[in-house]
A and B are shown apart, each in its own frame.
Chain A
Amino acid sequence: MSQNSSDTVSRLAAEKPITVAVLAMGGQGGGVLSDWIVNMAEAEGWVAQSTSVPGVAQRTGATIYYIEMLPPKDGKLPILSLMPTPGDVDVVLAAEFMEAGRAMLRGLVTPERTTLIASSHRSYAVTEKEKPGDGTGDPAVVVEATGVSARRAIVFDMQSLAEANGSVVSAAMFGALASADVLPFPRSAFEAAVRAGGKGVEASLRAFSAAYDKAREPADKSPEKREPDKSLPPLPASDPHPGLNRLLERIRSNFPETVQPMLFAGVKRLVDYQDIAYANEYLDKAEEICRLDAAAGGVSRDFAFTAEVAKYLAVAMAYDDVIRVADLKTRASRFERVRQEIGVKSDQIVYTTEYMHPRMEEVAGTMPAAIGRWLEESPRLFKALDRMVNKGRRVRTGTVGWYLMLHMLAGTKRIRRRTLRHAREIEHLNRWLELAGTLVPTDYDLAVEIVSCRRLVKGYSDTHARGHSKFDRVIAQVPRLKGRPDGAAWLSRLRRAALLDEEGKALDGALQTIDSIYGDKAAA
Chain B
Amino acid sequence: MAERSFAREVEDLRLGEGEIFRGEGILAITKALLQAGVGYVGGYQGSPISHLMDVLADAKSVLDDLGVHFESSASEAAAAAMLSASVMYPIRGAVTWKSTAGTNVASDALTNLASGGVMGGSLVILGEDFGEGSSIPQERSHAFAMKSQMWLLDPRPNLTSMVKAVEDGFELSEASNTPVMLQIRIRACHVHGQFVAKDNKRPDFTLKEALENPRRDVNRVVLPPASLFHDKEKLEQRWPNAVEFIRSRGLNEHFGPADGDVGIILQGGMYNGVMRALQLLGLADVYGNSLLPLYVLNVTYPLVDDEVADFCLGKKAVIMIEEGHPEYLEQSLNTILRRRDISTKVHGKDMLSLGGDYTTALMVEGVKSFLKTHAPRLLGNQPPTPDPKPVLENAKVKALAEVVPPRPAGFCTGCPERPIFAGMKLMEKELGQHHVSGDIGCHIFSVLPPFNIGGNTMGYGLSGAGASAFNVKADKRPIAVMGDGGFWHNGLVSSVGNAVFNKHDGVILIVDNHYSAATGGQDILSSRAQNPTRSTNNTIAEAVKGVGVKWLRQIDRTYDVAKVRDTLKEALTTPEEGPKVIIASSECMLNKQRRVKPQFNQAVKGGKRMVRERFGVDEDVCTGDHACIRLSGCPSLSVKHTDDPLKDDPVAAIDNSCVGCGNCGEVSEAAVLCPSFYRADIIYNPTRLDRVAAKLRTLFIGFLQRRRASRQIAFAA
Contacts and interface: CB of A to CB of B under 8 A. Distances in A.
A60 B407 contact: yes
B675 A52 contact: no
Contacts of A108: 388
Contacts of B214: none
Given A57-B442, A314-B646, A349-B690, A462 B672 contact: yes
B597 to A, nearest CB: 13
A59 B413 CA distance: 8
Interface in B215-247: none
Interface in A110-147: 110-111, 123-134, 136-139, 141-142, 144-145, 147
A398 B682 contact: no
Nearest to B700: A400
Given A38-B192, A348-B683, A57 B517 contact: yes
Chain B CB within 10 Å — which of A11, A60, A344 has the most?
Answer: A60
Contact of A357 (B403, B623, B669): B669
B287 A13 contact: yes
A355 B680 contact: no
Contact of B680 (A59, A129, A351): A351
A95 B382 CA distance: 36
Interface stretch (B57-65, B392-400, B529-537): B392-400
A104 B190 contact: no
A467 B625 contact: yes
Interface residues of B, number: 145
B280 interface: yes
B618 A81 contact: no
Contacts of B621: 320, 324-325, 328-329
Contacts, number: 443
A329 B381 contact: no
A134 B620 CA distance: 17
Nearest to B635: A60
Interface in B267-310: 271-273, 275-276, 279-280, 282, 284-289, 291
B518 interface: yes
Nearest to A79: B275
Interface in A341-399: 341-344, 347-357, 359, 392, 394, 397-399
Contacts of A62: 407
B691 to A, nearest CB: 7
B387 A81 contact: no
Contacts of B448: 126
Contacts of A301: none
Contacts of A129: 626, 629, 637-639
Nearest to B562: A392
Chain A CB within 10 Å — which of B193, B404, B406, B656 has the most?
Answer: B404
A338 B412 contact: no
A49 B360 contact: no
Given A334-B618, A458-B625, A110 B285 contact: no
Contact of A5 (B22, B377, B691): B377
Interface in B395-446: 396-397, 399-413, 442, 445
A463 B627 contact: yes
B614 interface: yes
B287 A338 contact: no
A88 interface: yes
A459 B517 contact: no
A130 B626 contact: yes
A344 B684 CA distance: 9
Contacts of A328: 618, 620-621
B617 to A, nearest CB: 9
Given A55-B133, A59-B590, A349-B686, A105 B401 contact: yes
Nearest to A241: B713
Given A57-B517, A141-B400, A82 B378 contact: no
A239 interface: yes
B650 interface: yes
A76 interface: yes
A54 interface: yes
B616 A338 contact: yes
A85 B642 CA distance: 40
B712 interface: yes
A229 B650 contact: no
Contacts of A88: 280, 360, 386
Contact of B388 (A15, A78, A110): A110
B645 A56 contact: no
A463 B562 contact: no
Chain A CB within 10 Å — which of B186, B287, B623 has the most?
Answer: B287
8 closest residue pairs by CB, A with B: A53-B133, A107-B388, A87-B386, A61-B409, A227-B641, A392-B669, A137-B403, A125-B405
Given A98-B404, A332-B709, 6 more contacts: A61-B409, A76-B287, A85-B359, A349-B683, A355-B679, A467-B625
27 contacts: A2-B377, A16-B286, A59-B412, A79-B287, A80-B272, A87-B361, A88-B280, A102-B404, A105-B392, A107-B391, A126-B450, A127-B406, A129-B637, A130-B449, A141-B403, A148-B397, A227-B641, A228-B643, A240-B716, A328-B620, A341-B616, A349-B691, A357-B673, A403-B700, A403-B704, A455-B649, A460-B675
